[in-house]
Structure 1
């Protein structure tokens, strides 16, 4: 059995060209790794997601038994009872990973980067993990982004947004219209419920895109990051 308390997340980093004044934490989807997502972004965009003053961090989720794969080990941020919007969240594993990812936030704070100079997001499961991390634990960062992501209909994130005592960061959410793994409507419903709960959220559809990244989406994300973290 994996001792999750002893886990230290590995990180793949795209360093800034100049002085480090801001950070992006970009979480991969289930079964991927930080280096895998970094390479995928490079392949799609034709270059690294890189900036003059912004460090981009790609953590890797630890190997853990994953119930939808009949308990086979996979690099996943949390477990799921099954992939369905109608089942309860596996909050024990989500909360444990919030603690580990919080250590990465603390590393950036120690490097002199305040939370209002950070954005956190991810692809698929990584986007859902980012929503839990930010909306429930780090509400004072600059922004959240979710690519091809969704939440279960009774997610703890909705309650956290409703009960927030301060304005929450803006959410950028993107989804392909041809996504057969995580239906576009599921992602759009997540966005609608987050808005209803009080989050400032935008939703961008990409025609004919399946459960993938595309260049247009990453270019939108790049511009959004620069807007959130402009000096």
Structure 2
């Protein structure tokens, strides 16, 4: 009953085989859409070894303050240049609810939480990390690409203790001019100080992904699902 009344975000869906029991929900970055990361799926051997459902949702369209109020797909508004501080709490809260609905929908469709990965790039990675660490039952893993920790000062208030054991992959470009690598590294260090075990890696690239990072993602997914 609940899943029928839930209004899910429109998504691009790719399945690597019939009747998948594993899934990845992958959130795009600011101004992109759900098609952005779909081309990576054929490059993942971890997804070729088992049927996996990839769900790439489209974020809602909203005005973005730092881009002159231009309307674009965004998980939340960026209010100022201090992206880890100038946070649109209402937009973040709304996106967390929408992503939780997507996760709940996959579980209701037969994907066990222990086989479900939440991933995201940039804004999408920030939402993935914030959402994944607050969920019960915990997920198979959280993939955070070129992103940072939202609500970092209140981590102990909103994160669930069971999430301490959830695998966290954090990848970043050392030459990123949009989300500086120092923000990603500071987030990883804050998580580590709080008892989590994020896997932090950098590559010499801008605000993007590279073949080496995709290979590392592939190996990490295989470990999460082994």
TM-score (norm 2): 0.87
Give unpaired runs (5+ residues) of structure 1: 1-5
1:204 paired to 2:167: no
Alpha-carbon contact 1:159-1:197 (below 8 Å) kept = no
Partner of 2:109: 111
The alpha-carbon distance between structure 1 residues 62 and 147, as it changes in their structure 2 partners (threshold 3 A), is same
User: Which of 202, 205, 211 in structure 2 is aligned with 1:215?
Assistant: 211
Query: Once superposed, what is the RMSD of the aligned Cα atoms?
Result: 2.1
User: Which of 82, 96, 109 in structure 2 is aligned with 1:98?
Assistant: 96
Partner of 1:3: none
Alpha-carbon contact 1:78-1:93 (below 8 Å) kept = yes
SS of residue matched to 1:137: coil
The alpha-carbon distance between structure 1 residues 7 and 70, as it changes in their structure 2 partners (threshold 3 A), is farther
The alpha-carbon distance between structure 1 residues 61 and 7, as it changes in their structure 2 partners (threshold 3 A), is farther
Alpha-carbon contact 1:158-1:194 (below 8 Å) kept = no
Partner of 2:54: 56
CA distance in 1, matches of 2:100, 2:116: 12
SS of residue matched to 1:29: coil
The alpha-carbon distance between structure 1 residues 223 and 141, as it changes in their structure 2 partners (threshold 3 A), is same
Give per-residue Cα distances to partners, 1:132-159, cap 9 Å, x unaligned: 1111234611110111111357454464
Partner of 1:27: 27
CA distance in 1, matches of 2:222, 2:72: 33
SS of residue matched to 2:37: helix
1:165 paired to 2:161: yes
Give unpaired runs (5+ residues) of structure 2: 1-5
SS of residue matched to 1:100: helix
Partner of 1:71: 69
CA distance in 2, matches of 1:152, 1:136: 12
Aligned length: 217
SS of residue matched to 2:143: strand
CA distance in 2, matches of 1:7, 1:77: 16
Partner of 1:224: 220
CA distance in 1, matches of 2:95, 2:8: 11
Alpha-carbon contact 2:76-2:92 (below 8 Å) kept = yes
CA distance in 1, matches of 2:83, 2:125: 15
SS of residue matched to 2:162: coil
